[in-house]
Structure 1
């Protein structure tokens, strides 16, 4: 969807960008998640996106399992698509602090009680922590050749 791949990147962020890293993609997911938009025409109307671009993005979401097509014009988020809610809330919070010209234009609230919700960095042991306290460790999905290259003194991109 981005017009290029990140084959040289050993990183789940890069993999996620392949699926949802284009601005229209994020806005389509936002509308599906938080405005409950499902119809092609409603996405097009709300976003002002060209129909060919919208069709390509929706097709890519269906092909990657982020959405399923129901009927002739409905696109519904799968569990994979709904799981993007936390990332979008975090991106909104960042935008409110660093990119918005004033007060937040949208507030996220818990549907059951009406209280604010937020994306947080949470340690299983300590609870909410400062993101600056996070360190990176090689995980089980890291290719052996990448680890070997790092140990051999070569600098690889994570």
Structure 2
């Protein structure tokens, strides 16, 4: 198991899903990203909120930093050693759509009896939001109308 960062997949791995899963697909990673999107940026705070082991959090954050999803920023409180905060990069902010899609799927197919733990809202208007495919004009496309088309490279495993 690597603990020092992210090793990019070779160019022969053409499938973007496979490439994304190599960074975002580990069980704890979406939860870490959720915390960062909620504004929890300090290692100890993330660890406490998730109940994740120190070594796992260290490894997952190193992968996210190495892949350019998160950046480390040092801080130091009076009388203490230098520690780090973790902040989302553009790639990390773009992952919000992935988190929203996972949440929406979970709310629909694995719902809690008490209802969703989070909802998605427009910051400007407060309106509730859904995650969907959109056409070039910005109109939502129903899932049954979406088709994935293979465009070459190494054929994804069936």
Figure out how many residues of one structure are paired with residues of the other and give that number. 143
Aligned mates of 2:96, 2:35 — CA distance in 1: 11
Q: Which residue of 2 is the match for residue 157 of structure 1?
A: 157
Cα RMSD (Å): 2.5
Q: What are structure 2's unaligned runs of at least 5 residues?
A: 3-7, 75-82
Which one has the bigger helix percentage? Answer: 1
In the superposition, the TM-score normalised over structure 1's length comes to 0.80
Counterpart of 1:43 (choices 18, 33, 46) is 46
**Displacement over 3 Å in runs of 4+:** 5-10
Structure 1: give runs of 5+ residues left out of the alignment.
148-155
Alignment of 1:1-158 (within 5 A): 10-33=14-37, 35-71=38-74, 72-102=83-113, 103-125=115-137, 127-139=139-151, 142-143=152-153, 146=154, 157=157
1:22-59 deviation per Cα after TM superposition (whole angstroms, max 9, x unaligned): 110110001101x1111000100000000011011111
TM-score relative to the length of structure 2: 0.80
Aligned-pair distance for 1:125? 4.9
Structure ranking higher on relative contact order (CA contacts 8 Å, 6+ apart)? 2
